[in-house]
A and B are shown apart, each in its own frame.
Chain A
Amino acid sequence: MGRKLLIHNDKIPNIQTLDVYRSHGGYASVEKALKTMTPDQVTDEVKKSGLRGRGGAGFPTGLKWSFLAKPEGVPRYLVCNADESEPGTFKDRYLMEVIPHALIEGMITSSYALGAKISYIYIRGEYFYVARIVEKALEEAYAAGLLGKNILGTDFSHDCYVQVGGGAYICGEETALLESLEGKRGNPRIKPPFPAVAGLWGCPTVVNNVETIAAVCPIVNMGGEEYAKIGIGKSTGTKLISASGHINKPGVYEIELGVPVEEFIYSEEYCGGIRNGKKMKAVVAGGSSVPILPTELILKTAKGEPRLMTYESLGDGGFQTGTMLGSGGFIVMDEDTSIVKNLFTFTRFYHHESCGQCSPCREGTGWMEKILKKFLNGTAEESDVELLWDIQSKIEGKTICPLGEAAAWPVAAAIRHFKQEFLDVARSKKFVDVSHYNRLNKIVA
């Protein structure tokens, strides 16, 4: 069994209440940080921990914090990105729903480190009921003196609020999120300036993912160096993985970074192998944006080494033979799955979610969806495979925000690793959706 630091208490009855959460060691990091550490010492522990942003980009959190501008007399903000929308990802929802105080504890401790007097938790609108749970937990925290004026009798005062979104994937991009938090359309901003200098209402702001903020608690409690001992190399600590698709045990798993992919998929501790005794065909390891890999490349690197659940190992081989850990949205597909149709669902998603600011993304995602639809209705030509490749290559790197890349990468990877399947569908002039056939009834049975 690997160590768990974030959801180790998830099965304890009523852990979502403050009393139970505190009786199991909750809010220890607030006590420790506010009473025995300076804000800079907290930041130093986060730096030492090697914690990397858990939303998908994997940027070192301590470094991000150290970029925060601190001009005199200007408020600073911490904003939690709970706009979890990357297809295949549902870990933040689980964490907030089951242990909401873990996030609030992290918000207080992190805000203390950053000198933020106000913080916001921006939760995607569809998670309205989750926002209710977090709001209730906030009320409890206020009543217990963990939020508001002079927290636990110290000089530190802090207010934390929840804001719900309106349904837009793009608001997971931090500058779009800030726009949305300001009551505007979620159009990403051109960077620089980065939010650390000019973020919410033009003030210095740190935007961190739910899991990242929750991870600050164990880091403060155990010390950054201890935390860094978990994991391998630059992939330190634990990570929540959202496992879905054709596996026996879908759900949220906390792993120590470094677990072999094969163990994660097949062991009873985690996914429990492929459903219905089928063989595995492909895996999307880190949310819909990251390159899909066929079985042989997800289990082993091109060099033949076992692939591990780390930022580095999943990235081994670059996009030619590797992928990314991303958000940890781990989607497994069995041998009957049509890669063409799965790609269609991804591309439809990106077309739907493009904010429309940049032409390559706004137009390109729509063109790709249209072309993939031709594959599904049997009117695609072989040359459409090249056309798809051409379009995706002209989106990547040509947009304000990374949604362009997120839309291009899945298309590129599907063609790179499964080109024959696309050609076969185009040649046969007929698409037979084996993957979809009676899928639902099989589950029921």
Chain B
Amino acid sequence: MGAQVHGTQPFDASKRAEIKFNEVAMATVQKIISHYPEGKQKSALLPILHIAQAEFGGWLSPEVMDYVAEVLKIKSIEVFEVASFYTMYHLKPVGKCVIEVCQTSSCWLSGAEDIIKHIEKKLNIKVGETSRDGMFTLKTAECLGSCGTAPMAQVGASYHENLTYEKVDALLEKYKSEGKLRSYTDLDYNNTL
């Protein structure tokens, strides 16, 4: 079923059985579902996709989307059509840290292009690519609401603002030494860096 539904990556039935939220994640999922009237559990889809992405390796494989559909008692296609619409869901594997540099007007006016070029050089990758060690994926983003503190980049839940080359270097160093998967759902976000 999944293979026909999800176009981008092949559906692997053998992997499907392994996918299951742990207890903590499942409790959060159930709590979110309880925020909506009975029968409207589909409303929980966007927040639950964020949790799924964080729990299962930083991206949404066809098997993961299939599982989310099962949890919410909706069709797989309903999950895929949403996951493919919104920019925050990754439908292909990404690095542990996705660096999203805002490039819209105010950030551009304040040197976002220089920041992007600097990261490209530092990591020896282009926008859209993942570093060889699988640590970083570099992306550009459209306005992230940080215009007064431009230029900026988002990594997981953290907003890194008023960027300079020195700040970027320190950030890359920090994330690399931590070696952790960074997600939007992270509780330990740190915007002061």
Cβ of B164 within 8 Å of any chain A Cβ, yes or no, is yes
Distance A346 CA – B47 CA, assembled complex (angstroms): 28
Beyond the given pairs A126-B145, A348-B104, 13 more chain A to chain B contacts, judged by CB atoms under 8 angstroms and listed by A's residue number, are A129-B189, A163-B43, A164-B46, A168-B87, A183-B78, A242-B147, A329-B147, A333-B109, A348-B103, A348-B142, A352-B142, A440-B115, A440-B164
The reply on A266 being an interface residue by CB < 8 A is no
Is A243 located at the chain interface by the 8 A CB criterion? yes
Q: Select from chain A the residue with minimum beta-carbon distance to B74.
A: A183
Interface check B13, CB cutoff 8 A: no
Tell whether, in the assembled complex, residue A244 and residue B189 are in contact, meaning their CB atoms are under 8 Å apart.
Answer: no
Contact partner, A167, options B42, B43, B87, Cβ 8 Å: B87
Chain A contacts for B92, CB-based, 8 A: none
Cα distance A181–B82 when bound, in Å?
12
Residues 56-91 of B at the A interface (beta carbon under 8 Å) = 72, 74, 78, 81-82, 85-89
How far does the Cβ of B69 sit from chain A's closest Cβ, in whole Å?
11
Of the listed stretches B119-127, B148-156, B173-181, chain A binds B148-156
Assess whether A90 is in contact with B145, with CB atoms less than 8 Å apart. Answer: yes
Q: What 4 A-B pairs are tightest by C-beta distance, nearest first?
A: A166-B86, A440-B111, A183-B45, A167-B88
6 A-B contact pairs sorted by A residue (CB < 8 Å):
A128-B50, A129-B158, A166-B49, A243-B148, A244-B147, A345-B108
Map CB proximity to B onto A244-260 as digits: 1 under 8 Å, 0 otherwise.
11100011100000000
Q: CB within 8 Å of A: which of B143-193?
A: 143-151, 154, 157-159, 164-165, 184-187, 189, 191
Known pairs A166-B85, A167-B87; A124 contacts B145 (CB<8 A): yes
Given known contacts A183-B42, A440-B110, A168 and B105 CB-to-CB distance under 8 angstroms:
no
Q: Is B113 an interface residue (CB 8 A)?
A: yes
The complex places the Cα of A250 from the Cα of B150 at a distance, in Å, of 9
- How far, in angstroms, from A181 to B46 measured CA to CA in the complex? 8
Q: List residues of A (29-84) whose CB comes within 8 Å of B's CBs.
A: 75, 84
Does the CB pair A345–B111 fall under 8 Å? no
Q: A90-B146, A128-B185, A166-B82 are in contact. Are A183 and B108 (CB under 8 A)?
A: no
Complex interface: chain B residues within 8 A of A163 (CB):
35, 43, 46-47
One digit per residue, 1 when the CB lies within 8 angstroms of any chain B CB and 0 when it does not, for chain A 353-364 equals 101000000000
Interface residues of B (CB under 8 A from A): 35, 37, 40, 42-47, 49-50, 72, 74, 78, 81-82, 85-89, 103-106, 108-111, 113-115, 141-151, 154, 157-159, 164-165, 184-187, 189, 191
Q: Is A337 a contact of B109 with CB atoms below 8 Å?
A: yes
B9 to chain A, nearest CB (A): 19
A301 on interface, CB distance cutoff 8 Å: no
Q: How far is the CB of A14 from chain B (nearest CB, A)?
A: 17
Whole-angstrom distance between the Cβ of A165 and the nearest chain B Cβ: 6
- Closest residue to B189 on the A side, CB-wise? A129
From B35, B89, B150, give the contact of A166 (CB < 8 A): B89
| Assembled-state Cα–Cα distance A244/B147 (Å) | 6
- Cα of A407 to Cα of B89 in the assembled complex, Å: 25
- The closest CB in chain B to the CB of A336 belongs to B109
Query: Which A residues form the contact surface with B (CB < 8 A)?
Result: 75, 84-90, 92-93, 118, 120, 124-129, 132, 161, 163-169, 180-186, 201, 242-246, 250-252, 284, 288, 329, 331, 333, 337, 341-342, 345-346, 348-349, 352-353, 355, 435-436, 439-441, 443-444
* Contact (A132, B46) CB under 8 Å given A166-B88, A166-B89, A242-B147: no
Q: Name the distance in Å between A366's Cβ and chain B's nearest Cβ.
A: 15
- Cβ contact within 8 Å between A165 and B86: yes
CB nearest to A125 among chain B residues: B88
Question: Within the complex, which residue of B50, B72, B143, B165 is in contact with A87, where a contact is CB–CB below 8 Å?
Answer: B143
B105–A288 contact, CB under 8 A? yes
| Contact, CB under 8 Å: B86 / A168 | yes
Inside 8 A of A168's CB, which chain B residues have their CB?
Answer: 85-87
With A132-B187, A182-B42 as known contacts, state yes or no: A349 contacts B109, CB within 8 Å.
no
Partner of B85, one of A132, A185, A242: A185
Q: Are A439 and B111 in contact (CB under 8 A)?
A: yes
CA separation between A352 and B82, bound complex, in Å?
Answer: 16
Contact, CB under 8 Å: B150 / A164: no
- Which residues in A have their C-beta under 8 angstroms from that of B47? 163-164
| Distance of A253 Cα from B88 Cα, bound (Å) | 30
Candidate in A132, A167, A252 with the most chain B CB atoms within 10 angstroms: A167
Determine if B109 and A246 form an interchain contact, defined as CB atoms under 8 angstroms apart. Answer: yes
- Establish whether residues B87 and A166, one from each chain, have CB atoms under 8 Å apart when the complex forms: yes
Q: Are A87 and B159 in contact (CB under 8 A)?
A: no
Chain A residue numbers with a CB within 8 Å of B113 are: 436
Question: A342 and B109: CB pair below 8 A?
Answer: yes
Counting chain A CB atoms within 10 Å of each CB, the highest count among B85, B103, B110 belongs to B85
Complexed CA–CA distance, A184 and B147 (Å): 29
Are B143 and A85 in contact (CB-based, < 8 A)?
yes
